[in-house]
Amino acid sequence: MTRSRPKDLKNLVLIASLLFMIIGTGSVYFLVVALKLISTEFQWPRAVPSFAYALQYFGAGFGGVIMGYVLDKFGMGLPALIGATMIGLGAILTSYVSSPWHLYVIYGVLMGFLGRSALFSPLTANITRWFEANKGKAVGIVGSGQAISGAIWPPIFQYCFDLVGWRETAFWYGVFVLISMLPLVLILRKSPEKNQTSPVTSTIDDNQPSNTIIASIGLTPFAMQIILSIASIGCCVAMSLPLAHLVAHMSDIGYGAAHGAQLISLMLMAAGVSSFFGVGYLGDKFGGLQAVFIFSVIQALFLSVLSVVDSLIAIYASAILFGIGYGGILPCYPLIVREYLPSKEAGRRTAVVVFCGGAGMALGGWMGGVVFDATGGYAMAFWIGVGFNLFNLVIIGNLISRNKNRLLAQTH
């Protein structure tokens, strides 16, 4: 009889995954809080740090596809080791930048392609293999690490910027990453034994050919992959605009950078709660498609509100409610992948969807800087984001409709 591994091992992996996400995602929020400082120090247009922000997302998305293949073949250990090392090294090198191309290489290659590529898509795909029965809850917890990171790091970075400057802060953040994330690799490298998992719950069998129609929705896996990837672009353009530019926006309209850092922290705290609890509840109860539609509606509504309000109370309220919508969106996509695509390809297929989402994040972050430079404000950029969000809702709504129609047809 095979000796079973300790029952709490999967909970240890869950905690390690969450911590890995929280610490590593700080690299995003460092640039968000430092965007105006870097631009002012070098007399660069805001499009320069905005482009570095965009490169990080694009690089993370593209690298995540490769990390997904590595995960499917070798497990989480190697992606985690590379990611932790590169984020730490990239942060340390950030403290020495003196020209735009330094920032582009660090954030595009080290922080993005080799660093953050090991975070969201590999971690969420990996955790679904440990928690077959409660995938929604597990993915929501790990995915909440992005938002929790945003609640924790901006106030810390802002305090450290005021105390020692952004360069010194970047250096010591990098050191902290190395000494905290590398030990977590020893936990993340473990793999679940086959007899610890329950049967696969996706609607397509792993042994079926790739052109097999998904019974519940009338699409091939390839078509479903493409549609989900396009949908993720729309929601991520919208979510990246406040994430990248809210701190600068608050400063521009007279409330100061400290208010901006506090606001984004509260917004992302709300996003963390939404991901931690909301994804598990809505995803496990209604399915990933319905859950992402609900969260996307909330995000679109309150992004439109953010584009028109200027009182402090209204901005805080709309940003927090925007966070509730934003926090639940990305964690729903790994759920949808497991529900409608082959489970043995979860790593790479999740990574492709997240890559396209990262491209959307990159586009939104860069576009916000360009529109600001052209108009002197962010209102137009926010409205463009609302348009992208509505595009996402049309796609997801169509998938839900197809699913319901085919289920109704099967019952008659």
Q: How many other C-beta atoms lie within 10 A of the C-beta of residue 3?
A: 4
E strands, 14-148, in order = none
Indicate the domain borders of the chain: 9-191+213-411
- For residues 231, 233, 235, 241, the Cα torsion angle rounded to the nearest 10 degrees is -170
Classified as helix, coil or strand, 308 is coil
**pTM for the model:** 0.74
- Secondary-structure class of domain 9-191+213-411 per CATH: mainly alpha
State how far the Cα of 313 lies from the Cα of 271, in Å rounded to an integer. Answer: 19
Q: Which two tokens stand for residue 199?
A: 């049967």
Q: Of 390, 59, 362, 117, whose CA–CA distance to 237 is shortest?
A: 362
pLDDT tens across the length of the chain (412 residues): 344 455 688 889 999 999 999 999 999 889 888 888 898 889 888 888 888 988 888 888 889 889 988 988 888 999 999 999 999 999 999 999 989 999 999 999 999 999 999 998 899 889 888 887 777 788 889 988 888 887 788 889 989 999 999 999 999 999 999 999 999 999 999 888 664 444 334 455 555 544 455 556 778 888 898 999 999 999 999 988 887 788 788 888 888 767 777 887 788 889 888 888 888 788 778 888 999 999 999 999 999 998 888 888 998 999 899 999 988 898 888 888 888 887 777 778 888 888 888 788 878 888 888 898 888 888 899 999 999 999 999 999 999 988 776 655 555 5
Report CA 106 to chain centroid distance, whole Å: 19
CA 381 to chain centre: 20
Write the burial class of residue 149 (CB in 10 Å: 0-12 exposed, 13-18 middle, 19+ buried): buried
DSSP state of 212: P
The region, left, alpha or beta by phi > 0 then psi within -120 to 50, assigned to residue 352 is alpha
Calpha distance 177→281 (Å, rounded): 32
Span between the terminal Cα atoms of the chain, in Å? 48
